[in-house]
Structure 1
Amino acid sequence: MVAFGKKLKETQIQEWQGYYINYKLMKKKVRQYARQIEVGDQNHHYVLKDFSSVLDKQIEKVVLFFLEQQGILARRLFNLGGQHDVLLQHVDGSGISELQEAYREVGRDLLRLLFYVEMNAIGLRKILKKFDKRCGYRFTNYYVKTRANHPYSQLRQVFKHVGIGAVVGAISRNLADLQDHQGSYVSIYDQPTLPVPDPIIDSIKAAVDRLTNSTNFLQYLGKHALIMKEELPTPSEDHDVDERYHFMSLLLNLVNTFLYMVNTYIIVPTADNYSLSLGAAATLCGAVIGSMAVAQVFSSVYFSAWSNKSYLRPLVFSSVVLFVGNTLYALAYDLNSIYVLLIGRLFCGLGSARAVNRRYISDCVPLKMRMQASAGFVSASALGIACGPAVACVLQTKFKIFNITFNEDTLPGWVMALAWLVYLLWLWISFREPPREVEKNITSQNGKTGLIENGVIENRITQPLLLSLGEKQQDEDGDEECDVNEEASEEIHKPVTSVVAAYRLLTPSVKVQLFVYFMLKYAMEILLAESSVITTYYFIWSVSNVAIFLACLGLTVLPVNIIIGSYISNMFEERQVLLASEIMVCLGIILSFHLVIPYSVPQYVCSALVTFVSAEVLEGVNLSLLSRVMSSRLSRGTYNGGLLSTEAGTLARVVADGTVTLAGYWGMSKLLNVTLLPSLIICISSIVATCFTYNSLY
């Protein structure tokens, strides 16, 4: 992979080169500040003031050029509008195609302008991160806090655009008018979706959504997968992915995700009864449920590493191990051994191939389909969470075959063993191993402006951050060598190869977001793992009642994400939704405590619903922010962002399930409060940590 600055130079727009932020100048400034701070030549106040002034001037240059270009586009649209009115008076409709092409040409120029702004925004984020890293100051927090909320903020113009909507609306409306010139004219106000959407409009809408963080349900749901992509994909790279894509293989990956989540939660309603039948305490259900997560902590790493070489072999291994694990889980009843039960669940955890499922989508699904595939991954997980308890609900029977017992405790194991066996056969027959990616040094000849073919940008953006001719001459003083070394060490998007290297890339913002992810998974696991024990003790619920309750909780996932993805996330900033969701999780935990009044079903159900739904909302915005603040070097390789989030979530489940088991020593009457107290402390800590890094989530 090439460095950020070099990759941008390959597709430069020569006539705009003087209007991009001067990335090289700001990097040079950061190096100077770092050296001065190291030797004690400059104080904190001077550095903040000087670099703020440099950034302000660079942002002002970008914003003024952006507004100037908007005016030019508006004038062109105004002139085309006059031609449009004259043209509509001709009955024969002559000149329609020429006018449509003229509007599309304006759309292409608008795309160039949007990508110009997008690359400057990326450059700003990168230089702010670089300053924090090199100088040891929380400069991003200070700069965003003082600039973003000011009434004359130019920084907001770079990230939140005023006026673009009017230009897009003018192009859309006029193309709609011209689409059916022989009959009644459609209006975007009466019929927002054109019969045949123009590719240019789709491309502009996608570009605006990226810049303003506007989302729809599919995009929002896909963010839950934390399948990170590089900021500057190239057409050749996407072509390589097209060659590796195979629909049936993708479907098998999603089925694997679904079955694994079913496997995880199908035992939750009966784990306490199963433990009691084997002579253990009911609260040992925490260890039974959590043993799968313990093994997953390790399996996620070796499956992620294995997927560097193959996708089929780890999926086959996963299916075999899960078949064995579920068989052992089911046989533990007749063997009367709690140890066999735990070993069976450990085997199930060792078969967790979610890292492979993520990697396949990231590496083998074309960019144009990756969001849908990511949403499918999340939907499969959500359906698995709901279907697991629902399946357990219908397995309320008891019989024997050849002295092997089939009842509500063992049937979940037998059903899942059969499911994995069928899946293994389907996998072996239908999965196609994609050709391995060959590393190439792709050099572009003759830098060109972004071309649009069939509504798709061939080269995503033009060259921002260019050097002026005078600055290029300064490279001879040895600064170029330093810059090359810095690019090689910090900005080349080379996958990290160790846990230590991955940890070094974790900024305070990333660490806080991983902690928030840990918190929400901990709170959810406490709720789910102890649900059977708590409801049996307080309300004498049957297995069927517990299963229906858990299934209903799982079914809230998709409707809640529809509301958040389609509406809430477009009305508020993600960091605002993040903080509000954390507070709601905290409120749900507080409502769950059993204090003075008798514990009632409405109190338990309402508090569980608030906690679970708020955690689901939190997960989406948390992973979306995490993907934005996390280094792009964590988009590929074994130690990728998806693996880190999986490890954080899995560790949370392990700790939560262990908490349920340990809390059993204080007795059933104290179990609820003892398990909720750590959740409350962790949740409050995450809220405080979020407040400290709030302004860096920009």
Structure 2
Amino acid sequence: MVGFGKKFQESRYMGWKQYAINYKLLKKKIKRYLGERQANGEEQLRKEFMRVLDLQIEKFAMFLLEQEGKLATRFATLNEERELARNSGDPLLIEHCVKAYRALGMEILYLLQFVELNATGLRKILKKFDKTVTHKITDYYVSTRANHPFSQLQKLFRHAGIEAMLGSLTRSIAELNNGEKPFYDDPASFHLEDPVVDSIKGALERLTYSTRFLSFLSKHALIGDQDELPSAEDEAIEKQYDFMALVLNLMNTFLYMVNTYIVVPSADKYAISLGAAPTLCGVIIGSMAVAQLISSVYFSSWSNRSYFKPLFFSSVVLLLGNMLYAVAYDFHSLSILIAGRLLCGLGSARAVNRRYITDWVPINKRLQASAAFVTASALGMAAGPALAGLFKIKQKFFLLTIDANTLPGLTMVVIWLLYIIWLWLGFKEPVRKTLVEECIQTYSMPNEIAQKSSCGDLHSNDSASKRVMSPHGPEEQSLLQPLTETAIDIDSDLDDTDNVAEESEYSEEADKPANSFCEALQLLTNPVKVQLGIYFMLKYAMEIILSESSVVTTHYFGWTTGAIAMFVALLGFTVLPVNFLIGVYISNLFEDRQILVASEVMTCVGLATLFAGPIPYTKAQYMTGALIGFVSTEVLEGVNLSLLSKVMSPRLAKGTYNNGLLSTEAGTLARVVADGTITLAGYCGINLLLNLTLTPALAFALISLIATFFCYNSLY
């Protein structure tokens, strides 16, 4: 691998190498820091490394400004020729001018590609540094410089000069091709399909288009790294990628969440109909979470070998569990009811859902798939109670009673049966061993890997880029060739495959997954433990608010099952708009750790508002407290998982005992404890239920807030 090699030096851009972010130099400094960190301390090394990185970015930014100035000067000259061509009306002169603009556009495209490669180098070197130290720097470095008025980092992501030149390029070509039609008066008539212009737009979108909401949602899923470059293996994965299999995987996620929360509005009344206390709804709801503690582990292990089999098994178990839940009414058996919910919990395949996206969705689609996973969960959480609110009939069908108590189970039986048929007909199991062999055979040479996977292929999956890779005429082809060859060499400098022998032992260790649950726990640093503790707290508070809503509102306000279902559904539907607000706007104004603290404080406020005092308890007080508490925990969950994805060890990003499993177990355990608390508090009387369940929730929230302050400086 030649890095900035011979092809680069022989091209007309031979002087650009010295202005690029020196990835190899920075990597050598990281290796040197490994030997010095005991003597000098990690904090001093972090500061030194960030200063070196600032200097590299400053060097690149000054070069970029210089190049933009040169391009702007050439545009000014060419614009004068454009006016002469338009005034002359000579078709040959106009055609020559259009070609000149396209040639200048290729210069802009090359410069943008150079910027993109430097942005990639910055991301990769920050990620590499984070693997070597306890306290990571990526989030801190970007957040302290991205919006600083004197930071050159903005030149990597904001390109007002190039955007102005793109506007001039588009307008000039459009006017030359369309005669005297005014460009600004009727822009719809100037729908320009030019390969160079389209490619510049695509490159700008990759650098400046906001995917913050998708990125924010994807971190909720804790699904691997969303920012990796495509590799040779990913090329092979894309050959086996099946959209229908992904849809079925996401549908399993959605239906499981529907199944979990569809019983919330009616669980207390079902318990009463079986001769039990209404507060036994905690056991009815929480028994599913108890079984999920077990199922998460064996499903995570099973997904190492297959995806279809565990998804099929999950669906069958859920079908049987819902059948038991429905018939328990006519058997007048609380044991059958609990057994049905336990079976449903044993069918939780969320570990499989995550692993499928991690392993078999190509990198260029993984961000959207991860966001879809979170969206499916959120919609299922809201759709379950909403569906329960529609169950208002009561009649007998042979020996089976059909009413608001049994319809949640019966409805899910039908839905899971239809899903099983769809799964059987539509799911395509990926072939694992053949994939690896195909990668080795197809991409045996390092240079071939670079050509297949480099950032320098103008991201050929982009529709606009495809048009440039197959331009309309020989002129565009000749202009593109040096760009493509050079970009391959630039990108190869960022490729670690040419320095395998130089990699230190920590890299190999960082790629090794945990082999046991105990080993995974040993990898947890204090910041990770605090984040998992916060995750436990927020899930506990969220479960308390949702699971006891039917008992509390019936006792204090006399709400019907339909009213309870509507209220719980409305709470659930706040998930997506709240995450959109945080992911797109608030996360750009504040650091994650600042949002974390604020949402913890608001969670405490919401829980405190819910307490019943000596004055009459009102609907306004309950609904306000529930809304503040639930929305705050939603915000807290998003930011918490975002931080957790950053502070987790890279070894927990893969394998059976991964960060997704750990967070799932922490959240599930919280739900079990919360639902158990509701049932135990019920023995003290319905009047004390609300305060007895909210007291530990508020205590957990305050403890989490204190723990956050103790490790605040470690949360980057």
**TM-score greater than 0.5 by the shorter chain:** yes
Aligned to 1:532: 550
What SS class does the counterpart of residue 463 from structure 1 fall into? Answer: helix
Deviation at residue 592 of structure 1 after TM alignment: 1.0
Match runs of 1:330-479 below 5 Å? 330-436=326-432, 438-439=435-436, 444-445=446-447, 450-453=455-458, 454=460, 455=465, 461=491, 463=493
Q: Distance in 1 between matches of 2:58 and 2:601?
A: 40
Alpha-carbon displacement from aligned partner over 1:61-105 (angstroms, at most 9, x marks no partner): 312322222223322332232144224312254332442343343
Aligned to 1:41: none
CA 1:508–1:542 in 2, change beyond 3 Å: closer, same or farther? same
Q: Distance in 2 between matches of 1:238 and 1:146?
A: 28
Aligned to 2:159: 165
CA 1:327–1:185 in 2, change beyond 3 Å: closer, same or farther? farther
Deviation at residue 383 of structure 1 after TM alignment: 1.8
* 1:285 aligned residue (281, 302, 306): 281
Deviation at residue 691 of structure 1 after TM alignment: 3.0
Q: Which sits farther off after the overlay, 320-329 or 103-112?
A: 103-112
Q: Which sits farther off after the overlay, 584-593 or 7-16?
A: 7-16
* 1:25 aligned residue (29, 36, 41): 29
Deviation at residue 683 of structure 1 after TM alignment: 1.6
* 1:620 aligned residue (633, 638, 657): 638
Aligned to 1:120: 122
Deviation at residue 231 of structure 1 after TM alignment: 4.9
Aligned to 1:688: 706
Q: Distance in 1 between matches of 2:583 and 2:574?
A: 14
Deviation at residue 194 of structure 1 after TM alignment: 8.1
Deviation at residue 661 of structure 1 after TM alignment: 1.4
Aligned to 1:469: none
| Structure 2: runs of 5+ lacking an equivalent | 10-16, 467-483
Matched, 1:225 2:221: yes
Read off the aligned partner of 1:237 and give its amino acid letter: E
Q: Which sits farther off after the overlay, 278-287 or 224-233?
A: 224-233
* 2:617 aligned residue (581, 584, 599): 599
Q: Distance in 1 between matches of 2:43 and 2:514?
A: 35
CA contact under 8 A between 1:660 and 1:675: conserved in structure 2? yes
Alpha-carbon displacement from aligned partner over 1:609-648 (angstroms, at most 9, x marks no partner): 1122222222223222322333333333222232222222
What SS class does the counterpart of residue 233 from structure 1 fall into? Answer: coil
Q: Distance in 2 between matches of 1:146 and 1:558?
A: 26
CA contact under 8 A between 2:113 and 2:456: conserved in structure 1? no
Aligned to 1:39: none
CA contact under 8 A between 2:109 and 2:203: conserved in structure 1? no
Read off the aligned partner of 1:306 and give its amino acid letter: W
CA contact under 8 A between 1:10 and 1:444: conserved in structure 2? no
Q: Which sits farther off after the overlay, 521-530 or 69-78?
A: 69-78
CA contact under 8 A between 1:230 and 1:632: conserved in structure 2? no
CA 1:498–1:7 in 2, change beyond 3 Å: closer, same or farther? farther
Q: Which sits farther off after the overlay, 412-421 or 82-91?
A: 82-91
Matched, 1:487 2:507: yes
Q: Distance in 2 between matches of 1:33 and 1:566?
A: 37
Q: Which sits farther off after the overlay, 315-324 or 232-241?
A: 232-241
Aligned to 2:477: none
Q: Distance in 1 between matches of 2:364 and 2:109?
A: 20
Matched, 1:555 2:557: no
Q: Distance in 2 between matches of 1:9 and 1:339?
A: 70
CA contact under 8 A between 1:249 and 1:432: conserved in structure 2? yes
Deviation at residue 530 of structure 1 after TM alignment: 0.4
CA 1:119–1:533 in 2, change beyond 3 Å: closer, same or farther? same
Alpha-carbon displacement from aligned partner over 1:426-450 (angstroms, at most 9, x marks no partner): 1111211122253355651387885
CA 1:557–1:175 in 2, change beyond 3 Å: closer, same or farther? farther
What SS class does the counterpart of residue 405 from structure 1 fall into? Answer: strand
Greater helix fraction, Structure 1 or Structure 2: 2
Identity of aligned residues (%): 44
Aligned to 2:52: 58
What SS class does the counterpart of residue 568 from structure 1 fall into? Answer: helix
CA 1:611–1:202 in 2, change beyond 3 Å: closer, same or farther? farther
* 2:681 aligned residue (649, 652, 663): 663
Read off the aligned partner of 1:595 and give its amino acid letter: G
Deviation at residue 545 of structure 1 after TM alignment: 1.0
Matched, 1:105 2:125: no
What SS class does the counterpart of residue 159 from structure 2 fall into? Answer: helix
Q: Distance in 1 between matches of 2:142 and 2:639?
A: 24
Read off the aligned partner of 2:705 and give its amino acid letter: I
What SS class does the counterpart of residue 234 from structure 1 fall into? Answer: coil
Deviation at residue 496 of structure 1 after TM alignment: 3.1
Deviation at residue 59 of structure 1 after TM alignment: 2.1
Q: Which sits farther off after the overlay, 625-634 or 313-322?
A: 625-634
Q: Distance in 2 between matches of 1:243 and 1:47?
A: 47
Q: Distance in 1 between matches of 2:548 and 2:314?
A: 28
Matched, 1:575 2:593: yes
Q: Distance in 2 between matches of 1:18 and 1:118?
A: 10
CA 1:26–1:256 in 2, change beyond 3 Å: closer, same or farther? closer
* 2:244 aligned residue (238, 245, 248): 248
Alpha-carbon displacement from aligned partner over 1:409-428 (angstroms, at most 9, x marks no partner): 11111111111111111111
Aligned to 2:69: 75
What SS class does the counterpart of residue 598 from structure 1 fall into? Answer: coil
CA 1:485–1:370 in 2, change beyond 3 Å: closer, same or farther? closer
CA contact under 8 A between 1:140 and 1:696: conserved in structure 2? no
Alpha-carbon displacement from aligned partner over 1:117-153 (angstroms, at most 9, x marks no partner): 4433442454355233xxxxx6969x96999489999
* 1:654 aligned residue (658, 665, 672): 672
Aligned to 1:201: 201
CA 1:106–1:284 in 2, change beyond 3 Å: closer, same or farther? same
Matched, 1:541 2:541: no
Q: Which sits farther off after the overlay, 393-402 or 290-299?
A: 393-402
CA contact under 8 A between 1:238 and 1:366: conserved in structure 2? yes
Q: Distance in 1 between matches of 2:248 and 2:326?
A: 25
CA RMSD of aligned residues (A): 3.7
Match runs of 1:289-328 below 5 Å? 289-328=285-324
CA 1:431–1:29 in 2, change beyond 3 Å: closer, same or farther? closer
Q: Distance in 2 between matches of 1:82 and 1:663?
A: 78
* 1:498 aligned residue (475, 499, 516): 516
Aligned to 2:602: 584
Q: Distance in 2 between matches of 1:370 and 1:113?
A: 24
CA 1:393–1:146 in 2, change beyond 3 Å: closer, same or farther? closer
Read off the aligned partner of 2:26 and give its amino acid letter: N
CA contact under 8 A between 1:228 and 1:641: conserved in structure 2? no
Matched, 1:516 2:534: yes
Alpha-carbon displacement from aligned partner over 1:201-237 (angstroms, at most 9, x marks no partner): 333433456xxxx544444333332222265433422
Q: When the two structures are aligned, how many residues end up with a matched partner?
A: 657
* 1:274 aligned residue (259, 270, 287): 270
Aligned to 2:474: none
CA contact under 8 A between 1:12 and 1:461: conserved in structure 2? no
Q: Distance in 2 between matches of 1:410 and 1:610?
A: 32
Read off the aligned partner of 1:451 and give its amino acid letter: G
Aligned to 1:611: 629
CA contact under 8 A between 2:72 and 2:165: conserved in structure 1? no
CA contact under 8 A between 1:12 and 1:462: conserved in structure 2? no
Q: Distance in 1 between matches of 2:7 and 2:240?
A: 30
Read off the aligned partner of 1:26 and give its amino acid letter: I
CA 1:237–1:327 in 2, change beyond 3 Å: closer, same or farther? same
CA 1:634–1:146 in 2, change beyond 3 Å: closer, same or farther? closer
Q: Which sits farther off after the overlay, 451-460 or 232-241?
A: 451-460
